[in-house]
Amino acid sequence: METKTMYCLLALAAIFVFYVWRVCNYLWFEPKKKEKFLRSQGIKGSSYTFMFRDLKEMVKMTKEAKSKPMSLSNDIAPRVSPFFYKCVTTYGKICFTWMGPKLMVCISEPAMAREILNNYYQFQKSRGGNPLSKLVVKGIFDAEGDQWVKHRKIINPAFHVEKIKHMLPAFYVSCREMIDKWEEMLLDKSSCEVDVWPYLETFTSDVISRTAFGSSYEQGRKIFELQTENAKLLMKAFQSVYFPGYRFNRFVPTKRHKRMKEIDREVRALIRSIINKRVALIEAGETSNDDLLGILLDSNYKYSKELENKSYGLSIEEVVEECKLFYFAGQETTGNTLAWTMVLLSQHIDWQTRAREEVLHVFGKSKPDIDGLNQLKTISMILNEVLRLYPPVSVLRRLIHKETKVGNFTLPANTLIQVSPLFLHHDRDIWGDDAKEFNPERFSKGISHVTKGQASYIPFGGGPRICIGQNFGMLEAKMALAMILQNFSFELSSSYSHAPHDMFTLQPQFGAHLILHKL
């Protein structure tokens, strides 16, 4: 053999060995090293085995849990998150598991949760999941570092309490429409069965369509329908997550992937046309800034002006992403909160009566206004308790890019971290023996009194990345609950099946079938 050929073969062999070593390192030696490192610090967890064992088990356990409803109790963690529930009960409040070869550390301890949520530069939103999710959730939710700071600064003014006050009429009209539909069903009877869940979903999406796009409400509705379809398709895509090489699945032109991209294009075109019209009006000095889009564009304009450079603000593309996100982040979360509130108040008629008495005392049968909504103490206690037992966002995920200390532990680079509001909210050590009972009374002296300043109650997340729409969502939920209580009493129907499940947010899997009585 010629010397030149021999060198070539040797070089090829070296490259081959290098890559084989890298793959072995990624799939075996690295995870094993990390496992040893965590165990040496006293953290327990599942032993790493080659590839996707834990993920497969997670999918299997979730499928099994979802296959049947549960008993009527608030002990929902074993159904909603069976795999992580098993991890935490087996290994403790700080434990680890494996998402393929990737290490995941689950933390259900308030001081460490606070540390993670406060340090948003070190603990970033987790990336590297299914890339198709970018078609549904992007914008500020996905931004990091200075990019996030800029987005948050520009979007913040749209969610100021002063601005949200002006959105009350949109909340009212949307809720009135829902109540009119229920009244129509009750036209010639004193009671009837209604699955309130889809109506509450429509209500919260109408609210976003009206508050985000004001006069372009009809187009907003269309956007919502398309976004919902995409979220459902994405959820189906997630179900195949444990196959090796799943990151590349998105390149396969399946019917689902094509449809997702098609929907995305349609949504973008719709939002873009609304924005273009609005920008033209702003330039002609003809528009008001009383919807989220108007406030966002105005704030963006001021921000660029402040820095004397138009390109410093958000691009039209980024504004489109933020508008898409309003639907995703603001609709289901509030819709779920209301659905679980109605389910819980159907089981606790004493609290339903107490809440109605408060509403009638403050408003009688008239239209709720901002001053009155701010006086509703019992309603606030009830909503806080619902968000504790049924947090719409049941897990928060973060990723560290380098070795990082949390509490007394050091976690290796590239670790996924999971903080679970659901587990923290249901912890008997924190909330006492009645942790899984519905008892709004615990919030009678406010949230900080009951949590004693700990990060043990985090339905809206925490730290600098706390939910930007918190006041918006709470005011909307209060308005809707007040109006429902003014018009109806309700109880559980015999066809109600208790089945909370996590589909991005915590939803009633088989709906929320209630018997409504006209008052």
Of the two residues 422 and 515, which places its CB atom closer to ligand HEM in the complex? Answer: 422
CB 65 within 8 A of CB 78: yes
Provide the 10 A C-beta neighbour count for residue 221. 17
Closest separation in Å from C-beta 34 to ligand HEM: 24
Q: Which of 468, 481, 485, 514 binds ligand HEM (CB under 6 A)?
A: 468
Of the two residues 110 and 473, which places its CB atom closer to ligand HEM in the complex? Answer: 473
Closest separation in Å from C-beta 313 to ligand HEM: 17
Count of residues near ligand HEM by CB under 6 A: 22
Residue 386 binding ligand HEM, by CB under 6 A: no
Q: Which of 38, 80, 87, 140 binds ligand HEM (CB under 6 A)?
A: 140
User: At a CB cut-off of 8 Å and minimum separation 6, what does 519 contact?
Assistant: 486, 487, 488, 489
d(CA 483, CA 176): 8
d(CA 355, CA 377): 9
Q: Could you say which residues in the range 353-372 bind ligand HEM, by CB under 6 A? A: none
Nearest CA-CA partner of 513 in 498, 503, 505, 504: 498
Among the candidate windows 41-49, 56-64, 101-109, 467-475, which touches ligand HEM by CB under 6 A? 467-475
d(CA 342, CA 338): 6
Residue 469 binding ligand HEM, by CB under 6 A: yes
Of the two residues 82 and 462, which places its CB atom closer to ligand HEM in the complex? Answer: 462
Beta bridge partners of 418: 106, 397
Closest separation in Å from C-beta 334 to ligand HEM: 5
Among the candidate windows 179-187, 215-223, 266-274, 465-473, which touches ligand HEM by CB under 6 A? 465-473
Closest separation in Å from C-beta 213 to ligand HEM: 12
Q: Which of 99, 329, 435, 499 binds ligand HEM (CB under 6 A)?
A: 329
Residue 114 binding ligand HEM, by CB under 6 A: no
Q: CA angle, 118 as apex, 115 and 123 as ends, to 5°?
A: 80
Of the two residues 34 and 501, which places its CB atom closer to ligand HEM in the complex? Answer: 501
d(CA 75, CA 65): 13
Residue 175 counted as an annotated binding residue: no
Q: Which of 81, 202, 333, 346 binds ligand HEM (CB under 6 A)?
A: 333
Residue type, 498: H
Q: Could you say which residues in the range 387-416 bind ligand HEM, by CB under 6 A? A: 392-393, 396
Tokens standing for 461?
Answer: 């997340």
Tokens 């209301």, located at residue: 338
Residue 127 binding ligand HEM, by CB under 6 A: no
Of the two residues 101 and 391, which places its CB atom closer to ligand HEM in the complex? Answer: 391
Residue 227 binding ligand HEM, by CB under 6 A: no
Report the Cα 154 to chain-centroid distance in Å.
21
CB 84 within 8 A of CB 104: no
Closest separation in Å from C-beta 508 to ligand HEM: 15
Closest separation in Å from C-beta 292 to ligand HEM: 7
Residue 425 binding ligand HEM, by CB under 6 A: no
Helix axes 316-347, 196-213, angle to 10 degrees: 150
d(CA 371, CA 475): 11
C-alpha distance from residue 416 to each of 101, 125, 126, 149, 191 (Å): 11, 9, 7, 22, 50
Burial of 350 (0-12, 13-18, 19+ CB in 10 A): exposed
Residue 326 binding ligand HEM, by CB under 6 A: yes
Q: Which of 457, 460, 488, 490 binds ligand HEM (CB under 6 A)?
A: 460
Maximal C-alpha separation, the chain: 98
CB 314 within 8 A of CB 158: no
Closest separation in Å from C-beta 81 to ligand HEM: 15
Residue 456 binding ligand HEM, by CB under 6 A: no
Among the candidate windows 304-312, 329-337, 430-438, 495-503, which touches ligand HEM by CB under 6 A? 329-337
Among the candidate windows 21-29, 355-363, 440-448, 463-471, which touches ligand HEM by CB under 6 A? 463-471
d(CA 512, CA 507): 10
Of the two residues 422 and 467, which places its CB atom closer to ligand HEM in the complex? Answer: 467
Provide the 10 A C-beta neighbour count for residue 495. 12
Tokens 């008892």, located at residue: 439
d(CA 470, CA 479): 14
Residue 459 binding ligand HEM, by CB under 6 A: yes
Closest separation in Å from C-beta 169 to ligand HEM: 17
Chain residues that interact with ligand HEM, rule: CB under 6 A: 140-141, 152, 325-326, 329-330, 333-334, 337, 392-393, 396, 459-461, 465, 467-469, 472-473
Binding-site residues: 467
Binding residues for heme: 467
